Amino acid sequence: MDEAGAAMQARKFCDATALFEQAFTPDSAQASIFDLFAAALSSAQCPAKQPLAWRWLGQLSRRRPLPMQAGDLDNIVSDAGLASLRANETAWARWLAAMRGAIAEQAVAEQARRARWLTETQARALAFPSKADRQQGRVAPAPAGFALYFSQVPGDTVRVPYLVRVPAGYDPARPAPVVVYLHGGVVSTPQFGHANPEVATQEPVFAAAPANALVVYPFGRKSFGWVEQPAAFAQVLRIVTDVRARYRTDPARTTLVGLSNGGSAALWFAAQPAAPFSRFVALSPAPNLLLAQSTYGPLGKTKPVLMVSAQDDDIYAYEAVRAAYDAHRPGRSNWVFQTVPKGGHGFIYGPEGQALLRQALQSDAAKPGKRNYPAVGTARSPRAAR
């Protein structure tokens, strides 16, 4: 495949086509849609091999799932490299109709899938308990799985969606540990992602959290997220309060963890005296504390705070994060910084990410006043990471 790409760059399309044939042997059905299109583009520009272009484009139209939208197809249709195929108007129209049909078919299926997701997750949501139930500390049984809630922002029209993953075997008579996860990408996310099951359910935190833990997943967006918007920070606290009213939770085992924008928010919460969390995990956080005029307050003085960054982070430079930690670390014995040698800004999405996160979230990994965090995968101690 690398050689085929290089041949295309050199505009040696017949050579590239031969290489694609070799790469696809014995089963071109294993090729990605991008590889199939590249191969078709190459063979379309090699006159003796144009039948292969039709064959590979035909495979593309039959591929399911087809991760493509109408705009992607428009880009393909206008590609100058396919001019020789467009000359065959009948075959081109047939292929184009098949592609548009596949995309439309998938769009309908996706709408139905998202509708089922919203229906099923809202059906698992518990009614807010009555005042009498709250006073008596009574909570209802809850089915296992994802439950979707909406938290109304006071004095606003915004309703912040959040998921609660209820573990199998949840017992409303026994306090469960809680993991609250603040996702990254807030500054580039235009809308809350609660309607798409893949946005949240594929997050490593759901597999990495303790098996008996409730996992709370608030959704953020560019116009309401945990960067420089105090209202969004306040809403996270309201969500935690609502979860504690609906479910039997253990305040002494309530961890706040976040990645990137969410990791920066986790550090900010750790600096607040009244934050209702027992420990904090900040993954790939920014080197500066969020919100103007913020101070580090009690961060790392009593409650454990674990910060993890990769040395090859291309968003928040490791050197800057480490320098900020070194500058503010004195007097904060429960603030620990660990290093992942490589993996980039989103290292938890790498091959070892789930294991790294699981180790960081071990419920007994740290106690106030103790520095007994586990080693995080291939992470090294702060001193060794310098």
Q: Which helix (H) or strand (E) holds 383?
A: helix 382-385
- For residue 65, the model assigns a pLDDT of 85
Amino acid at 95: W
Contact criterion met (CB below 8 Å) for 308 and 340: yes
Calculate the CA dihedral of residues 121, 126, 128, 134 and round it to 10 degrees. Answer: -150
Question: In whole angstroms, how far apart are CA 377 and each of 170, 306, 343, 355?
Answer: 29, 14, 12, 7
Contact (Cβ atoms closer than 8 angstroms) between residue 218 and residue 239: yes
Beta-sheet strand order (sheet of 249-259): 145-152, 159-166, 214-218, 176-182, 249-259, 279-283, 305-310, 335-340
Secondary structure letter of residue 289 according to DSSP: -
Element (H, E) at 255: strand 249-259
Query: How many angstroms separate the CA atoms of 224 and 204, rounded?
Result: 23
Residue intervals of the chain classified under CATH 3.40.50.1820 are 124-385
Nearest to 257 by CA among 269, 249, 247: 269
Contact between 298 and 273 (Cβ < 8 Å):
yes
What pLDDT is stored for residue 383 in this prediction? Answer: 29
Note whether 98 and 59 are within 8 A (CB). Answer: no
CA distances from 133 to 7, 140, 143, 202, 249 (A): 71, 9, 19, 34, 15
Question: What pLDDT score does 367 carry?
Answer: 42
- Which pLDDT value is given to residue 370? 39
Q: Over its length of 386 residues, how does the chain's per-residue pLDDT go in tens digits?
A: 899 999 999 999 999 999 999 999 878 778 888 899 999 999 999 999 999 999 999 999 998 888 888 888 999 889 999 999 999 999 999 999 999 999 999 889 889 999 999 999 999 999 999 999 999 989 999 999 999 999 999 999 999 999 999 999 999 999 999 999 999 999 999 999 999 998 878 899 999 999 999 999 999 999 999 988 999 999 999 999 999 999 999 999 999 999 999 999 999 999 999 999 999 999 999 999 988 768 999 999 999 999 999 999 999 999 999 999 999 999 999 999 999 999 999 999 999 999 999 999 984 434 433 333 334 444 433 323 32
Residue 218 backbone phi and psi in degrees, to 5:
-70, 145
How much is the pLDDT for 263? 97
pLDDT at 374: 39
- Rounded to 5 degrees, φ, ψ at 54 are -65, -40
Q: Which fold has domain 124-385?
A: Rossmann fold (3.40.50)
